[in-house]
Structure 1
Amino acid sequence: MNVSRIAIAGGVAASTVLLLAGPAAAHVGVQPQGEAAKGGYATINFKVPNERDDASTVKVEVNFPTDHPLSSVTPQAVPGWKIDITKSKLAKPLDVHGKKINEAVSKVTWTADGSEIKPGYFQQFPLSVGQLPEDADQLVFKALQTYDDKEVVRWIEEPKEGAPEPESPAPVLKLTAAASDGHGGAAAGKDAGTDKASDTTASSKDKNATAASSSDGTARTLGIIGIVIGIAGVAFGVLAGRRRNA
């Protein structure tokens, strides 16, 4: 009886480790290329992973915050995707560099046009945005992800500080303190600012790559150990059973 329990425990341990080694659920997110400083301009990326095994993502809609409208939103062309920009009239005009802005982008939509996000892949959708607000620490973008089987996933729940992450969190762009020259991200146009942003981006990418590599290596190691333990437990149980029968 004890031998059988050991064999079963070994198998369970192997299965548990394999489950833990599997990828965590991903969701639509937004990240800056460099820094997204208050009062400045920045290039941001909306990262859209495909979470389905039997469907492809064919449409992505990103709604812009109405409480902090952005006067400038310029998308980068994405091969195989059509881009539509929706603007809305502002209740209160924006004053940008002495010029009154009466409307702002309220939504950007990417629709597959010869391409799509297949299972197991993700796609990034870059935008140049500004002028970022000076009186906010973050911007919340509500997004809709449409699959080719007509399913629509609504990433619209705003995360709350100190509360568990929502099931379908909206992308949140964190804003950093304004640069000392008062121009925020706009200073990136200077040579020194450009070099600094490039170094920051490269360093961030290296750190992320190292962390991801370490995480993947640990997961694979745990998975192999679990499998070995399970096989050893089953083999031990079989051998012990044969000895008792002999």
Structure 2
Amino acid sequence: MNVSRTNVSRVALAAGVAVSSVVLLSGTAFAHVSVQPQGEAAKGGYATVNFKVPNERDNASTVKLEVSLPAEHPLASVSTQPVPGWKAEVTKTKLATPLEVHGKKITEAATKITWTASGSKIAPGEFQQFTVSLGRLPENTDKLVFKALQTYDNNEVVRWIEEPKEGAPEPATPAPVLKLSAATDDHHGGGAATGASDDDKAKAKGHGAETKASDAGSAGSSDTTARVLGIVGILVGAAGVAFGVLAGRRRTDASA
């Protein structure tokens, strides 16, 4: 019995150590500049994305982030969301081959976004998210690679420029990668109810709620009816028994 308990304790201890190691290693592996969409980033549409910048140093603060936009897939529309304490600048370059977006020819596209601290920093143990609206997303690729440079206030520059390869170990300084989903009908990266207006979605939601309420009401009504019928049945049965007893007594009295 003691041996069994000892083995269980050893297994539990080993499992705890393994889990702790995984957590620690995972935290280290994912502590880099990354990009994630708010919702869906569909091919041919527009998307809002967040560049997440963690501070990996214990003795320095991040004061600058430079993100290069993919030249092989130029983006005609790039706009930044204001971040308190940071100044954003979008650099544009003329295109060798103009783009056509919504029937208009676009002769230049954004090639880089630079955020510079102006009263704020990303201190040790902190992170900052920089939100950007991008479009029109290309339809001939499944991902966009954004190479980034992270500058600290001690003049150290970390180059997040290595493109991750499928099936290969993650590089030491991977570039942020935005995965693109299949194109949607409205080309706005919508969700499951793509193409439906907000009013239509609200009506559909309200109709669904009404249907559920109606079903609940019907179920409640059916349950109440069943209970009433059950009570009536019991009363009828009791009345029948009483009638039988009374009739039996009458027959006994009559024969006497």
Q: Give the TM-score of the pair, scaled to structure 2.
A: 0.66
Task: Using the TM superposition, give the Cα deviation of residue 143 of structure 1 relative to its aligned residue in structure 2, in angstroms.
Answer: 0.2
Q: CA deviation at 1:24?
A: 2.1
* CA spacing shift, 1:56–1:128, aligned 2, 3 Å: same
Q: How does 1:14-25 map to 2 (within 5 A)?
A: 21-22=23-24, 23-25=27-29
Q: Deviations over 1:117-169 (max 9, x none)?
A: 00101100000110000111000000000000000000001111111111111
What is residue 78 of structure 2 aligned with on the other side? Answer: 73
1:56 to 58, 61, 68: 61
Matched, 1:191 2:195: no
| Aligned with 1:32 (options 24, 34, 37) | 37
Which residue type is aligned with residue 98 of structure 2?
A: P
Which of 164, 169, 172 aligns to 2:169? It is 164
Once the two structures are TM-superposed, the CA of residue 192 in structure 1 deviates from its matched residue by 7.1
Equivalent residue of 2:178, what SS? strand
Indicate which of 100, 109, 130 corresponds to 2:105. 100
For residue 122 of structure 1, the aligned residue among 127, 138, 157 is: 127
CA displacement at 1:185 relative to structure 2: 1.8
Which whole-Å CA distance do the structure 2 matches of 1:49 and 1:35 have between them?
Answer: 23
Gap change, CA 1:176 and 1:193, over 3 Å in 2: farther
Q: Deviation at 1:170?
A: 0.4
Larger radius of gyration: 2
Identity fraction in percent = 67
CA distance in 2 between partners of 1:173 and 1:193 (Å): 31
Aligned residues: 184
Which 5+ residue runs of structure 1 have no aligned equivalent? 1-12, 196-246
Instruction: Select the structure with the greater relative contact order (CA < 8 A; seq sep ≥ 6).
Output: 1
Q: Is the 1:83–1:110 Cα contact (8 Å) retained in structure 2?
A: yes
Structure-2 residue corresponding to 1:137: 142
Report the counterpart of residue 7 of structure 2 in structure 1. Answer: none
Question: Does structure 2 retain, via aligned residues, the 8 Å contact 1:188–1:194?
Answer: no
Q: Map Cα deviations across residues 30-54 of structure 1 (whole Å, 9 max, x no partner).
A: 0000000000001000000000011
- The amino acid of 1:123's aligned partner reads Q
Indicate which of 95, 113, 121 corresponds to 2:118.
113
Change (3 A) 1:36 1:156: same
Find the aligned partners of 1:188 and 1:155 in 2 and give their Cα distance: 37
| CA distance in structure 2 between the aligned counterparts of 1:165 and 1:171, rounded to whole angstroms | 12
Q: Corresponding residue for 1:231?
A: none
Q: CA RMSD in A?
A: 2.6
